[in-house]
């Protein structure tokens, strides 16, 4: 199916465990993003990637690791989960252009979200 | 630091009412402002605004940008219960490092 898919959709884990959230897109978009959404904070950027093998920190990167060996995949790993990382995680992708009037450019399309609970 | 402030944070109206949602921003090297609608799932794109004074319209929803005063409004006329959602405003910074900053959203509840 075309689009952007996240897995798992729901995950419960324990403090200290490693968790990986997967994100896969079929549009060959160059940019991919990971956001977390928490009540009172809105959407906050964790990491993003401009292309395969190029990643950069966002607003709240601590405790997270990303990789992008292939254009279509952008996994997010919590190396040692903490309760404060309980959240809904959204992956997104887009083409980014200097002139966003190009149709569809610079518009993030989001995955369905992954709800993570850390006990 | 880039900043996006939405108001009100929440709003309750009756079907048929008209609502105006506000978004003010401070961003270095502004490129565009985007509106998203979020029901109980992922945000979905509504509008992108890059120029002042040009209204974007889609059915009962419309939006306009004022780059001089650094704000945008999203209008919804003849509201329906299906308009109930969180409306998110985001501002894109131009330049070599891409950055999109979201506001905290306005929760709109439309009662029958």
pLDDT tens digits along A31-70: 999 999 998 888 999 999 999 999 999 999 999 999 999 9
Mean pLDDT for the stretch of residues A92-111: 78
With contacts defined as CB-CB under 8 Å, which chain A residues touch B42?
A: 90, 110-113
* Nearest CB partner across the interface for B31, out of A31, A100, A112: A100
The DSSP letter of residue B95 is S
> Measured between alpha carbons, how far is A48 from A67 in angstroms, rounded to an integer?
10
Do the bridges between strand A10-13 and strand A114-118 make them parallel or antiparallel, or are there none, so unpaired? parallel
Mean pLDDT for the stretch of residues B46-70: 91
pLDDT of residue B96: 67
pLDDT of residue A41: 85
Are the C-beta atoms of residues B34 and B89 closer than 8 Å to each other? yes
With pLDDT > 90 as the criterion, what percentage of chain A qualifies? Answer: 81
Residue of chain A whose Cα is closest to the Cα of B105: A42
Query: A27-38 burial, b if ≥16 CB within 10 A, otherwise e?
Result: eebebbbbbbbe
- First CA to last CA distance, chain A: 34
Q: What is the number of CB-based contacts under 8 A between chain A and chain B?
A: 49
Across the interface, do B100 and A111 touch by the CB < 8 Å criterion?
A: no
Residue of chain A whose Cα is closest to the Cα of B95: A98
Q: Does A39 touch chain B (CB under 8 A)?
A: no
pLDDT of residue A110: 95
> Measured between alpha carbons, how far is B25 from A44 in angstroms, rounded to an integer?
16
pLDDT of residue B80: 97
* Nearest CB partner across the interface for B42, out of A42, A56, A112: A112
Q: What are the residues whose beta carbons fall under 8 Å from the beta carbon of B22, sequence distance 6 or more?
A: B6, B7, B8, B71, B72, B73, B106
Residue of chain A whose Cα is closest to the Cα of B35: A107
> Measured between alpha carbons, how far is A41 from A59 in angstroms, rounded to an integer?
12
Specify the higher pLDDT residue, A91 or A27.
A91
With contacts defined as CB-CB under 8 Å, which chain B residues touch A44?
A: 102
Mean pLDDT taken over chain A: 92
Across the interface, do B98 and A101 touch by the CB < 8 Å criterion?
A: no
Across the interface, do B34 and A107 touch by the CB < 8 Å criterion?
A: yes
> Measured between alpha carbons, how far is A99 from A90 in angstroms, rounded to an integer?
25
Burial of A40 (0-12, 13-18, 19+ CB in 10 A): exposed
Condensed to tens digits (0 to 9), the pLDDT of residues A4-13 reads 999 999 999 9
> Measured between alpha carbons, how far is B23 from B74 in angstroms, rounded to an integer?
8
């Amino acid at each position: 199916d075309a689009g952007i898919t996240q897995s798992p959709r729901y995950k419960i884990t324990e403090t200290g465990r490693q968790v990986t959230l997967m994100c896969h897109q079929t549009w060959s978009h160059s940019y991919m993003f990971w956001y977390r959404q928490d009540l009172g904070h809105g959407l906050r950027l964790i990491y993003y990637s401009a292309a395969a093998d190029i990643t950069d920190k966002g607003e709240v990167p601590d405790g997270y690791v990303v990789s992008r060996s292939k254009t279509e995949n952008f996994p997010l790993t919590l190396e040692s989960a903490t309760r404060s990382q309980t959240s809904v995680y959204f992956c997104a992708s887009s083409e980014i252009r200097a002139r966003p009037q190009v149709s569809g450019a610079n518009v993030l399309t989001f995955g369905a979200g992954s709800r993570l609970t850390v006990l | 630091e880039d900043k996006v402030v939405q108001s009100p944070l929440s709003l309750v109206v009756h079907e048929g009412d008209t609502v105006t949602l506000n978004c003010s921003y401070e961003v270095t090297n502004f490129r565009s402002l985007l509106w998203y609608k979020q029901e109980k799932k992922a945000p979905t794109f509504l509008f992108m605004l890059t120029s002042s004074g040009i209204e974007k319209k889609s059915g009962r929803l419309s939006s306009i940008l004022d780059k001089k005063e650094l704000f945008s409004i999203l209008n919804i006329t003849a509201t329906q219960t299906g308009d109930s959602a969180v409306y998110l405003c985001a501002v894109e910074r131009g330049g070599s490092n891409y950055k999109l900053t979201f506001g905290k959203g306005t929760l709109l509840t439309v009662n029958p």
